[in-house]
Amino acid sequence: AIADEGNEWGVPAGQPLGVQHPAAWVQIAAGSQDQTRNTMTLCPSILSKRAIEEYRIDLGKEIIYADKGRARI
């Protein structure tokens, strides 16, 4: 989105402005598992305990599953 004049965040008019997306996704890609190791260690701190419990997320695997194994993250 582009900031309007006098927006509530104080971003200058015409500048890019971040907005929430209803279906935001984060994708992590690499050529090998070793390349993603550091990034994947962030997952436990990014996800709240509530999200882990609500979506039944199973951390600590090469592929992270949710919803009792029916969905992949």
Q: pTM for this one? A: 0.45
Instruction: Assess if residue 26 is contained within a domain.
Output: no
Instruction: Assess if residue 68 is contained within a domain.
Output: yes
Name which of 33, 41, 71 is nearest 54 in CA terms.
Answer: 71
Instruction: Assess if residue 56 is contained within a domain.
Output: yes
Instruction: Assess if residue 15 is contained within a domain.
Output: no
Structural domain boundaries, residue 50? 33-72
The pLDDT of residue 48 is above 80: yes
Instruction: Assess if residue 37 is contained within a domain.
Output: yes
Amino acid at 18: G
Tell me how many domains the chain contains: 1
Give the per-residue pLDDT at 15: 95
| Residues 9-24 pLDDT 10s | 899 999 998 878 888 7
